[in-house]
Structure 1
Amino acid sequence: MTAIRRLAGLGLALVVCAGLLTATAAPAAAQQAAPYTAYGVGLRAGAMIGANIGGRSCGPAVAVTATGTWLMYIAVSSPCSPRAGDVVSFTVDGQAAEQTVTWSEGGAPANAAAGIALTVAAPKPTVTTAAAPAAGGFTGSISPSGVSLASFTGTTAQLDTAGAAVKATSISATLGGKVLTFVVGAPSFVNTEFNTAFASGLQGTLVIVKT
């Protein structure tokens, strides 16, 4: 009976020891998980390479060496807390790179020789649209005496006002292959054909101004 009790006690002790070993080994194994090894070649020396997951930094940026190479390890313990399948994004001097990788324990770039070829998209050119001339105004120089070629945007009433301001005698424009003339300051019946042709106004229309 005593021998049986001793064997039972020994068995219990072994079970407890095994449990303690398992409990202490699990955290140790997690801490020792292999990091993802990220690297690349061919970048400008001194450029700073950063990594993040969902905007969370994976640690301090690393500098590109004099030979154009860079290397960083993204471990489970990194601030971005990577997990298998997480998408890792990179930055070059603070600008988002076009390439990403999928984090995995002990992972590395698919192209072992070149690593991750980081590139930053060129900024889109800013398209500046020239402002349209103010309604009721000429675009171009009007000679104080003679004939000038300009453009006009506005209604025929505004054309009459603008023409008077530059002391124009008449203003002509072509529509459908026909030259139509607007006489500045004349009664409306004189300019009926012109006013009808441009009932919706002139939109940057080329005009000949006689002063």
Structure 2
Amino acid sequence: KLGVPRPVSCQNDFSLLNRTYENDTWEAAYRFGVVGLPYGVLGGGVLTGKYFDGTKHAAKAEADRPLSLSRHRSRPDFQPRYGMPAAMLAAEAYVHLAERYGISPTELALAWASARACNGSIITGTTTVKQVEECISAFKLELPEPLMAAVDELHEQFREPTMFYHSKQVCMDAKWVGASARHASEPRSWVKALAFSPAVRIAAAAVGGAMLATLAARRK
């Protein structure tokens, strides 16, 4: 009707933590010859295991690039769904599953998504050479059927934990998932919280503007 080329791919949020695409969109996409080209396959980095402090995965990530620079530590309010307490519990289960099969959590997440028939390819986001190398190794893997079945079993236990619809704060508190659950980001110190306050930012901008105006007047 529009006289434009038909779409050939669908860029959707898809991962071990969010398989909603498989529920209905996949069927429609298949009917119209559209393949999946998903993002978020590593759940914002949560599925790499690097946000589980004290683990070898966190140590590995820290050695490659300071975790303080990673998404959920530097910008905890950006796409917080990936680091919600329920999502962290699910991610921890997938991390343990990968360890049982002798592969990294990153390899499990990427190889699984790449193997899904609904996807033509997947979008990865990397910041270091080592991350690129691990992504490449993941695409060379062929996951065994028992592992794929184990993934489906965990999916039945943790249904779409990143898909919160009602309230971010309710999910942050998440009393129903137990005391062991936590958010991927560390609690901010009062200094950092103050620095991120809109009121403080406005005041700082006003003070800065006044100082610049004063300096300009003196130069005249």
User: What TM-score results when the alignment is normalised by the length of structure 1?
Assistant: 0.17
Question: Higher strand proportion, which one?
Answer: 1
Structure number, greater radius of gyration = 1
Question: Higher helix proportion, which one?
Answer: 2
User: What TM-score results when the alignment is normalised by the length of structure 2?
Assistant: 0.16
* Structure with higher RCO (Cα < 8 A, 6+ apart): 2
